[in-house]
Structure 1
């Protein structure tokens, strides 16, 4: 039997999951690919119309409690409806491990996970239910921020997602349904002879340089860095960077760039420096492809800052 593609939709109630599934089935032509099954795990403001679903060979089943979302139930529906594709509208308050660690019917394969986020309530959820919302974003292939407007802090939202899920594609949808494709503004000037990166902007620059390395080709940057240069590191290489907090104090990680420097043995491990370097985009196994590699122009000793951490949001 052919594989059954499973599309997983996550997000809190009223974040737009139902509308996205309906658009995917009807407007994007997914319904033309055979029998579809929607597994709905919560009731939102937008409802599915049975007559509409009948026209596109789509069945819908409902499940109200997380403990009822079981392997046995999924196999039962698979045998009853024989779907060619499955759309799961997952409950935003349920643990992601419930489905991600579950043994799905043997033909079912999760081919894409999409998370919908209401931009008007994201900050509130992030403040009150941070772990829960980040769990959903961490597993998503695509994160869709809807109900955006000119005041939406897209840069902050992007950094929040990318700090926890580097691979995610991010889409900003405006209130009228159109896609907001405006370039994000950066808090530093790329046209400076030397781009000065402050502690407040380091994480922003780090994410942008990894995502868009060609933008920095040949540019000079200056920043305060903690040196990673243990004896085990290859000669002529060290990593200037910073410890960054992504979610909470338990999620502090070191983020830095590969730096080629013949006199790296003179730069002590765990020392603080002001480094000015030219960026070259090169293949590096550390990046699993091409990425920003630093070539120092100047290196000066520096004092440890009062706050050693940098932040993504």
Structure 2
């Protein structure tokens, strides 16, 4: 499996993460792997199309979004909270409009590949969305550690 991802030229770190994530029946994009996992999904978008993914975050919406879209998002901090940036996965669901901005949700569904401005992008077609409590630490960080499997 590792050989499958090693042709991308993105280095052993992301190859190891891609291999670990791909083996999971449902990819769990949790706090520890959130940012590195998002990067991996972006680098290998075609390979992860059709895979199931589960993650949690707050509902983030932009003015240009369709009524069936939101991002399940987390904040990442590089230096201090003043430089926090939003990272996440675009979710599509018929119930998207019922979820309030900044409410916390857990989302599970299938990743679909889309072409956006000539680039491959994964969209999470939600099969299940449920409200959750915000985690004690709402921020996520790059781990810089390859998975241990």
Bucket of the pairwise TM-score, normalised by the shorter protein: 0.7 to 0.9
User: Which structure features the higher share of strand residues?
Assistant: 2
Alignment partner of 1:204 is 2:36: yes
Q: Which residue of 2 aligns with 1:185?
A: 16
Shift in Å, 1:234: 2.2
Which structure has more relative contact order (CA 8 Å, sep 6+)? It is: 2
Change (3 A) 1:306 1:284: same
Count of residue pairs brought into register by the alignment:
134
Alignment partner of 1:195 is 2:27: yes
TM-score in terms of structure 1 length:
0.39
The equivalent position to 1:302 in structure 2, one of 129, 132, 137, is: 132
Q: Which residue of 2 aligns with 1:215?
A: 47
* Pair member with larger Rg: 1
Unaligned runs of 5+ in 2: 1-8, 144-149
User: Which structure features the higher share of helix residues?
Assistant: 1
Deviation digits for residues 116-164 of structure 1, max 9, x if unmatched?
A: xxxxxxxxxxxxxxxxxxxxxxxxxxxxxxxxxxxxxxxxxxxxxxxxx
Unaligned runs of 5+ in 1: 1-169, 173-180
Deviation digits for residues 27-80 of structure 1, max 9, x if unmatched?
A: xxxxxxxxxxxxxxxxxxxxxxxxxxxxxxxxxxxxxxxxxxxxxxxxxxxxxx
Q: Which residue of 1 aligns with 2:98?
A: 266
Shift in Å, 1:231: 6.3
RMSD: 2.5
